[in-house]
Amino acid sequence: DVVLTQSPLSLPVTLGQAASISCRSSQSLVFIDGNAYLNWFQQRPGQSPRRLIYKVSNRDSGVPDRFSGSGSGTDFTLKISRVEAEDVGVYYCMQGTHWPPYTFGQGTKLEIK
Amino acid sequence: EVQLVESGGDLVQPGGSLRLSCAASGFSLSSYWMSWVRHAPGKGLEWVANIKQDGSEKNYMDSVKGRFTISRDNTKNSLYLQMNNLRADDTAVYFCVRDRGGGSYRTFDSWGQGTPVTVSS
């Protein structure tokens, strides 16, 4: 199974400052079609997860452009350019290249300093 | 608007059974793979099982194989998870998820609100 390792696991950030979360895979996430199926989800307190990014860097409709995804192969990053209060929650990366099983990272808890 | 509404979660004793349901609306269930994903207290998200559009293919995480059965009724736009021989480590909120695994997306694009399952004596 593919293991996704996120860092950091805890991310205290000052409002308005940038934040970055890393997701490293135990094997390449490039599929036979040349795409890497790496997703990012946000889970706000008390809510269901919500997809932010799919296929490494494609932002979902309604997701603010301060969120961006990048990376290739085994190393991926989610960046938030200017953290706002509504960004508090847990962020997960998830791979859809090698399933079953789909696998998630451990989650990164973003909090405001 | 896509909506997924789970039900059936409850407190159950170890070794007991439970059947979760998911009512889908706003899209045709028969066109999509569907998954169950769970979130145990203090832990991360964990994919549990998925099922192909016509029910002909099903996949499970190792720890639930032989105990859980995923099924669907496209005529009722509903997804199910039959859970038998439940264990304490099955305690979690279970989410019904629209799964784009079979195509060129390979992602989860819609989630329900979740239904809580607690396994305890």
B64 Cα to chain A: minimum distance (Å): 12
pLDDT for A27 beyond 90: yes
Query: In this predicted structure, what is the pLDDT of residue A18?
Result: 98
Q: Which residue of A has its CA nearest to B47?
A: A102
Q: What tens digit of pLDDT does each residue of A38-75 get?
A: 999 999 999 999 999 999 999 999 999 999 999 999 99
Beta strands in chain B (DSSP E): 3-7, 11-12, 18-25, 33-39, 45-51, 58-60, 68-73, 78-83, 92-99, 108-111, 115-119
pLDDT for A93 beyond 80: yes
CA–CA dist B88, B105 (Å, integer): 34
Cβ separation of A107 and B45 shorter than 8 Å? yes
| Mean pLDDT to the nearest integer, A79-100 | 97
Query: In this predicted structure, what is the pLDDT of residue B101?
Result: 82
Give chain A's end-to-end CA distance (angstroms, integer).
Answer: 36
Query: In this predicted structure, what is the pLDDT of residue A108?
Result: 98
Query: In this predicted structure, what is the pLDDT of residue B104?
Result: 77
Cβ(A73)–Cβ(A22) under 8 Å?
Answer: no
Cβ(B109)–Cβ(B15) under 8 Å?
Answer: no
A81 Cα to chain B: minimum distance (Å): 24
**pLDDT tens per residue across all 121 residues of chain B:** 999 999 999 999 999 999 999 999 999 999 999 999 999 999 999 999 999 999 999 999 999 999 999 999 999 999 999 999 999 999 999 999 999 987 778 899 999 999 999 999 9
**A interface toward B at CB cutoff 8 Å?**
31, 33, 35, 37, 39, 41, 43, 48-51, 54-55, 92, 94, 96-97, 99-107
| Mean pLDDT to the nearest integer, A85-92 | 98
Query: In this predicted structure, what is the pLDDT of residue B121?
Result: 95
Q: Is the peptide bond before A100 cis (omega within 30 degrees of 0)?
A: yes
Query: In this predicted structure, what is the pLDDT of residue B103?
Result: 72
Q: What is the mean pLDDT of chain A?
A: 97
**Chain B partners of A94 at a C-beta cutoff of 8 Å?**
45, 107-108
As given in the structure block, the two tokens for residue B54 are 């016509």
